[in-house]
Homo-oligomer: A and B are copies of this chain.
Amino acid sequence: MSSHMIIFQPSGKRGHIKEGKTLKEAANELGVAIEGICGGKGVCGKCKVEILDGFFEKHSITSSMNHLSSIESAEKAFLSADEIKKGRRLSCLARIHGSILAFVPEEARGGGQIIRKAAQDIPIIVDPAITKHYIELTPPSLHNPLGDWERLLSGLKETIEVKNLKIDHSILKQLSPILRDADWKVTVSLWQNKEIKRIEAGLNENAYGMAIDIGTTTVAGYLTDLKTGRVVALDSIMNPQVAYGEDVMSRISYAMSRDDGLDKLNHAIIDGLNQLIERATSKVDLSPNDLLEITVVGNTLMHHLFLGIPPSHLGSSPFPPTIHEAQDIRARDLGLNLHEATNVHVLAIEAGFVGADNVGVLLATEPQEQDEISLIIDIGTNGELVLGNRELGLVSTSCATGPAFEGAHIKHGMRAAPGAIEHIQIEPNTYEVQYKIIGNDKWQTSQDTPGVRGICGSGIIDGIAELFKVGVIKKNGTFNRDLDCPRFIWNEGENFPDFVVAWTPETSIEQNVTITLSDVRAVQLAKSALYAGAKLLMNELKVDTLDRVVLAGAFGSYIDKAASMLIGMFPSCSLDKVVSVGNAAGDGARIALVNHKLREKANKLAQQVKYLELTVEKEFEKEFIAAMYFPHMNDPFPHIQDILDKIPQ
């Protein structure tokens, strides 16, 4: 049989293809990825290519629309008059009868789609665990009375290669009516080519999933289009477990001290997630039933409580988790209001409280691939730290920072929401304040009435750093009470004043928004825990200086780097090497959602990180006390020495 030269642009891939094959078959043979979920049945209309007409000297071929089978009516249904004029064809229907130069337009190019994250530009190939396949089946007859499942399986095998494919019991129960209602034309969703998770009538390319980051205080959900890898809706709730304890230790106590403690905590987060999923999906006119997969990250306690695992042994040395490795569990076994067959992938956890969220951070930041020594700080109610590089490997730890950075335990603290002060500057002589609130890019002063509602985490850090810089707060964290500062207000019976950031008229809460001594104490406790943790990791790896500091966490990108270094949240480092990566844990969950092959990598990463348990390190207390000072009792801060020199003491 004769064959013809076929060339696909822009890749330039080429080869001789047998007479009579379709362009799609030619593309498959030559390794050119063209979109299309219908398996070449001319049903989805995604595989359009453009035929270039004429003699192409460079390629030494003549290409012509006449070298293809004529346009059938099935094909016409998908092509506009304009497209036909342009020379477009459905590659799965057009058959080859001569040499062809074809151009694959951007939208038809399959595979290898790349999404980029906000802060860091790590390219992620879109390759979700869920793949969809459209098939058309012959109905049963007396001559072919094969069962529905076996019929479906043989139809699928004509489209893709599958072995030992299973069908979830909840789908099996619906199989027969769905096939008949759909007139034997269905789209099948496969999970990792292992199990059928959904069967939908007709052609349905939509595929959505959700990545969830369960923080001790905040739970974030990223509703993601699995075709493009893009987030189509994001939403967050306060972790409802806060009602049972604000930090990990108090929740462990709650779980241990009551017979129904674990149940209450488990139901709280499951109910919360159901609410989050319901709200996020409804934003884009979807329902929870439409989600084909969920990925979840969280620190070890959040991970255990989500899975209903008793956490009592996490509360005392040697703090072993019940399980490290990643889990795949059906939504129905967890009580999530999703389609009951939906897979929930829970990322691996490392050790202690360095959980699946930190694996997410590592997936997103990859310190183990770099020569620079990185310190990664994931700031939340529980702080997780990782230190290392390619040569030294990675060592991690966790510390209880408390919820101060999330605006809790702060007199006028609030979540990062409209009305929250997120940045503060203080004039060194007059102590006049200007600030930015979320939702407004302009600096505001006491001349403005912007409707301040409170201060969020980054505002608190900024505010305390500025108060330290202008001498209002001393190195030990107390207010300089002898200062003649017009923004001091004194409450009866207290030894130290509060500092007014915004006067009542600037607020919408009819009171002054202040920073108090106890606010400063809360921040000191939080930052010294992080700093001491970092120091112990550096001792462990025998590292004196940091090449790079990566700030992760929901509000990581809002933090002013200089301010956070000035209050001593981490050891000195060149300021241009301090980077914020936003909610890297959430990004990790998204990466695992969008590319299932990286889950294996995440599992391995989790095993490679060595864990250091701070609470049993003798040095920890000493380091913790020294780190209570701004920026530190003893340690030098060469990278901000110029600022420190100017502080009036």
Contacts and interface: CB of A to CB of B under 8 A. Distances in A.
A319 interface: yes
Contacts of A140: 318, 320
Contact of A147 (B142, B172, B320): B320
B151 A320 contact: yes
A147 B613 contact: no
Given A169-B333, A307-B169, A307-B172, A320 B148 contact: yes
A322 B142 contact: no
A334 B172 CA distance: 12
Interface stretch (A173-181, A413-421, A558-566): A173-181
Contacts of A176: 309-310, 312-313, 322
Interface string A593-611: 0000000000000000001
Contacts of A144: 318
Interface stretch (A323-331, A482-490, A499-507, A514-522): A323-331
A492 interface: no
A634 interface: no
A606 to B, nearest CB: 10
B611 A173 contact: no
Interface residues of A, number: 46
Contact of A145 (B142, B173, B320): B320
A150 interface: yes
Nearest to A314: B176
A491 interface: no
Interface in A114-152: 140-142, 144-151
B148 A322 contact: yes
A265 to B, nearest CB: 13
A308 interface: yes
Contact of A310 (B170, B177, B322): B177
A176 to B, nearest CB: 5
A380 interface: no
A142 B616 CA distance: 9
Nearest to A142: B318
Interface string A271-313: 0000000000000000000000000000000000001111011
A149 B324 CA distance: 7
Contacts of A148: 313, 320-323
A447 interface: no
Nearest to A323: B149
Contacts of A495: none
Given A151-B320, A175-B322, A309-B173, A145 B351 contact: yes
B145 A611 contact: yes
B318 A147 contact: no
A173 B333 CA distance: 11
A195 B309 CA distance: 18
B325 A149 contact: yes
A73 B173 CA distance: 47
A317 interface: yes
A498 to B, nearest CB: 44
A316 to B, nearest CB: 11
Given A322-B172, A323-B150, A145 B613 contact: yes
A150 B351 CA distance: 12
Nearest to A311: B176
B147 A323 contact: yes
Interface in A200-244: none
A141 B172 contact: no
Contacts of A533: none
B150 A313 contact: no
A253 B37 CA distance: 39
Nearest to A616: B142
Contacts of A141: 318
Given A173-B308, A176-B309, A313-B176, A149 B322 contact: yes
A141 B611 CA distance: 13
A170 B319 CA distance: 22
A631 interface: no
A141 B146 CA distance: 58
B169 A329 contact: yes
A352 interface: yes
Contact of A142 (B180, B313, B317, B323): B317
Given A172-B309, A309-B176, A329-B169, A320 B146 contact: yes
B319 A145 contact: yes
Nearest to A168: B333
Interface string A570-606: 0000000000000000000000000000000000000
A308 B317 CA distance: 48
A40 B169 CA distance: 37
A252 to B, nearest CB: 13
A323 B166 CA distance: 11
A324 B154 CA distance: 13
A379 to B, nearest CB: 24
B616 A150 contact: no
A323 B173 CA distance: 10
A145 B175 contact: no
Nearest to A145: B318
Interface of A: 140-142, 144-151, 167, 169-170, 172-173, 175-177, 180, 307-310, 312-313, 317-325, 327, 329, 332-334, 349, 351-352, 611, 613, 616
Given A142-B317, A142-B616, A172-B309, 7 more contacts: A142-B318, A142-B613, A145-B351, A150-B323, A170-B333, A176-B310, A177-B310
* Cβ-closest 10 pairs across A and B: A149-B323, A140-B320, A145-B318, A147-B321, A147-B324, A142-B318, A176-B322, A148-B322, A140-B318, A145-B320
